[in-house]
Amino acid sequence: MSRSVRLVPALVALALTACGGGPDPSGAPGVGDPYFPKAGNGGYDVGHYALDIAYDPASRRLTGAARITARATQDLAAFHLDLFGLTVDSVTVQGEAARWSRDGQELTVHPPRALDKGGAFEVRVRYSGTPRTITDPDGSREGWLRTEDGALALGEPTGSMAWFPGNHHPSDKASYTVQVTVPEGLKAVSNGELTGERTARGATTFGWRAAEPMASYVATLAIGRYEIRRSTAGGVPVYTAVDPREENTDELAEVMAWARDAFGPYPFSSTGVIIARAGDSEYALETQNRPVFPGTPDTELLVHEIAHQWFGNSVTPASWKDMWLNEGFATYAEWLWREDHGGDSAQRTFEALYRSDDADLWAFPPAEPSGAGHISDRPVYERGAMVLHKIRQRVGDDAFGDLVRGWAAARRHGNASTADFTRYVERRAPDQDFGRIWADWLYGEGKPDRP
C-alpha cells in the first residue's frame, strides 16, 4: 500500500471532525428522531433510573431525586438530559457537584471530569416544583395531568420529561425503581411490582420496581384514592388500581390468556390495569405492565392495550416514525380478537375498511406519517393493521401466527425499525414476494388500487 493511500483515512477523520461530522464532545441534544428532534440525547445509554418522588396534591408540589446510571458511548465533556419545567436544585456526576445549564427541555450537565467512552457513570439530579401538562403536536395532553384527588403521569410521546429528567426517547430503554411518597390515604401506582409500602407521620411511601427494560414513554405514576385488587392471571401477578367511582374490568385474565396464545409468552413479570376516572385523560395508554384507562375499558380497548405489552413495550419502535409497528399490531389484535370471539373475521374488517373512501384513512402511508402531529392518526392504526393483514393473506394463517410470535420473540425487550420488520418477514418467508405489499401498503401514497 502506498503512503498516500494510508494517509487517506486519517485525513478523512480529520476533515469529518473539523466539519462537525465526529461526535459532539458535549453530547447531542437529541438522538435524531425525525419527528421529535429534541427527544433523547446523544452520547450515553441509560441502564437504570432510581427515582424518589414526593407529591402533595393540595400544593401541587413535587420534590424529586433521580439517580441515573448510564454508560458513555463516546468521550463526553458534557451531556444532555431532557426535563420539562420544574426547578433543578442540584446535580452531581460520580458523586461530585456538576455545573448545569438549561435551555427549554434540554438540561446540559458539565461534569467536573470528562467522561470516557465506554465508562459507566452515575448522575444525580435533585429537582422540585409544579409539574406541567404538555400539549402534543396533535393537540392531546400528556405529561403531568392533575386529577380531582391526585395526578396521572402519561408519557407518549414526550411527556415523561414533565416528571423526571432522563434520556426520553424510545431507543434508550432501562430498568426502573420508583419510590413515591404521598399524603396518607392516597395510593401511588407505577410500573412493575410493588416492593414496599409504609406509612409514617401522615405520609405513605410506595416502592415500585420495573426490572425489564422500559421505554420512558410508557412509565407512569397514578396518584389518587385508588382501590387496589391483587390476583394472578396464568401465573403472572396482577395489580389493579381502580378509581372508586369506576368499575374494574373482569376480562383481564381472559384477555391475557388469549394474547399469550396469539403472541407468545408474556414479556413482563406482572400485569394489571389502572382505571382512572373517565375524563382524567382523553385516551388510554399502554403504560408498561399496567395500561391506564380513563374509565372502565370495553373489551377491544383492553385487548388493544394488552397487545401493546408485546408490540410497543417489549418490541419498541426505534423512532417515532416506526409508530405503526405499535399501533398496527395493537389494532390488528382487536381484529383477531373479534374474529376469535364470534365477530367479523379480520378479512371482513379489512374489506370494509378498503371500501371506505375516508380521506383521513388514506392520508399517508403508515410507515411515513406526514408530521409529528400525525403519528397517532388513522393510517398508523388502521392502514398499519391492513399491512399485517396483507402479510397474512400472502403467507396463510398458520405461518402468519408463527411470524407474529417469532417477531415478538426475536425482538423481545429490544427496539426495531420498519426496515427491521420487513427484513424479518422476508427472511421468515423466503419463497414469497412482499415487494408490492411494502410498495403499495406500507410506503405507498393513497389507497392501493386493489384490496
Distances (CA, A) of 164 to 49, 71, 169, 221: 9, 19, 13, 11
- Asked if 243 is part of the footprint of ligand TRP (rule: CB under 6 A), the reply reads no
Binding residue (CB under 6 A) for ligand TRP from 219, 285, 315, 403: 285
C-alpha cell at 287: 403504560
Q: How far is 24 from 13, CA to CA, in rounded Å? A: 14
Binding mask 364-403 for ligand TRP (x = CB under 6 A): -----------xx---------------------------
| 151-154/106-110 β-pairing | unpaired
For residues 76 and 330, which CB has a smaller minimum distance to ligand TRP in the complex? Answer: 330
Stretch that binds ligand TRP, among 93-101, 247-255, 266-274, 278-286 (CB under 6 A): 278-286
Distances (CA, A) of 238 to 77, 176, 273, 291, 319: 45, 19, 8, 12, 30
Stretch that binds ligand TRP, among 95-103, 242-250, 281-289, 336-344 (CB under 6 A): 281-289
Question: Among ligand TRP, Zn ion, none, what binds residue 284 when CB lies within 5 to 8 Å by partner kind?
Answer: ligand TRP
Contacts of 219 (CB under 8 A, 6+ apart): 153, 155, 160, 164, 176, 178, 190, 191, 210, 287, 288
Positions 321 through 350 that interact with ligand TRP (CB under 6 A): 327, 330
Q: How far is 236 from 409, CA to CA, in rounded Å? A: 18
For residues 284 and 315, which CB has a smaller minimum distance to ligand TRP in the complex? Answer: 284
Stretch that binds ligand TRP, among 171-179, 283-291, 358-366, 412-420 (CB under 6 A): 283-291
Binding residue (CB under 6 A) for ligand TRP from 28, 52, 283, 347: 283
Residue pair 65/52 in contact (Cβ under 8 Å)? The answer is yes
For residues 186 and 285, which CB has a smaller minimum distance to ligand TRP in the complex? Answer: 285
Q: What are phi and psi of 200, to 5 degrees?
A: -150, 140
Q: Smallest gap, in angstroms, from Cβ of residue 328 to ligand TRP?
A: 11
Binding mask 325-344 for Zn ion (x = CB under 5 A): --x--x--------------
Which residue is nearest to Zn ion, using beta carbons? 330
Burial of 216 by CB count in 10 Å (0-12 exposed, 13-18 middle, 19+ buried)? buried
The residue ranges that bind ligand TRP (CB under 6 A) are 136, 140, 156-157, 283-286, 304-305, 327, 330, 375-376
The residue ranges that bind Zn ion (CB under 5 A) are 327, 330
